Amino acid sequence: MKILVLGGDGYLGWPTALHLSQAGHDVAVLDNFHRRQYDFELGVESLTPIDTLQGRVEAWREVSGHQLGMYIGDLTDADFTYHVIRDFGPDAVVHFAEQRAAPYSMIDRKHAVYTQVNNVVGNLNLMYAIAEIDPSIHLVKLGTMGEYGTPNIDIEEGWLEVEHKGRKDRMLYPKKPGSFYHLSKVHDSHNIEFACRIWGLAATDLNQGVVYGQQTAETMLDERLLTRLDYDAVFGTVLNRFVIQAVLGQPLTVYGNGSQTRGMIDIRDTVRCIQLACENPAERGEFRVFNQITEWMSVQQIAETVERCFPGEVTLEHLENPRVEQEDHYYKVTHTSLLELGLQPHLLSDTLISSLFDVVKQYAHRVRPEALRPTVTWRNPGLDKS
């Protein structure tokens, strides 16, 4: 297949592109380098050193013998988006190219507006380009489990069968997002479902949990192929923060009482899920939703897992939660579709033992400890930084 990976310079886009290329697909990556610009804005960078995209692409050619196509530009530029779809002619488009951090979207008005414009408009341009140039292209869109929030009923895979006053219907599962970032993903999902229903597009919406891990079989082949490991309080995941704090001998900073529950997935499983979605496409007119997680844990359980797996002393520190979210809540997720397609999941403790601690120890000298503390609060709209 010809597969275009949008956001192909990012944490997940880069290893996904390598995985698909190694699987024998003809792959091109597209990026606008905004993720690298966020590092300059926030004054913190990936724990792992990241080569230029051009250097990465050349390294992959040297190591694997496979070529990667490369496009530099922005999806909010409709002319550019149309050009890429026409020029590469993909069978599938994997869409990672969005601002992905909830805290970043909650800094102030400027960051909230940027997040929604960048994400929603870019996705709309992509939908129109596919519809007008080749409606048979399969759109594989990265959503988030955060679209659902924490409902007091089981979370189904995108759709819900409802009986109301004696009548039944099938509708999109109700959404209760927790940030302007998560709201942008909800808008994307509704827009894509509309395009499938009205225009006959084919799309798979992957509502992904928190991704952990830094290594895949492909990125481990050469240091120039490394992907990001973000640990700061804006872009870093809770697990990355805990692992780094353990290695540095700092307390693990648990927000609130730690009972907030999250769906989770290993990065090795993420790239495999994308491959399964691409190789088993949705039908024309179908808006297909997969809940892309393999397990779920509370924040406290994640901290306790790090404490149990780390070969040293670990302490926990509970901080006032900077987010507005339910701490004690019901959480049960249906996530069978990818397993039925052949996903064989990894478990959290396996990843910690095999890779994360070693990676952090190797690059611990690059940590900025002050970046681990939360600086963005949901309770205050914040001063406009423009």
Name the residues annotated as catalytic: 144, 181, 185
State whether residue 378 is helix, strand or coil: coil
Token pair 């205050």: residue: 380
Q: What residues have CB less than 8 Å from 126, skipping those under 6 apart?
A: 6, 75, 81, 85, 93, 95, 139
CB atoms within 10 A of CB 136: 11
Say how far apart CA 3 and CA 1 lie, in whole Å: 6
State whether residue 109 is helix, strand or coil: helix
Q: What residues have CB less than 8 Å from 103, skipping those under 6 apart?
A: 179, 233, 234, 235, 322, 374, 376
The neighbouring-strand residues paired with 30 are: 6, 71
Say how far apart CA 174 and CA 148 lie, in whole Å: 7
DSSP assignment of 310-352: SSS---EEEE--SS---SS----B---HHHHTT-----HHHHI
Phi, psi of 356, rounded to the nearest 5 degrees? -60, -45
Name the nearest CA neighbour of 269 among 342, 187, 374.
342
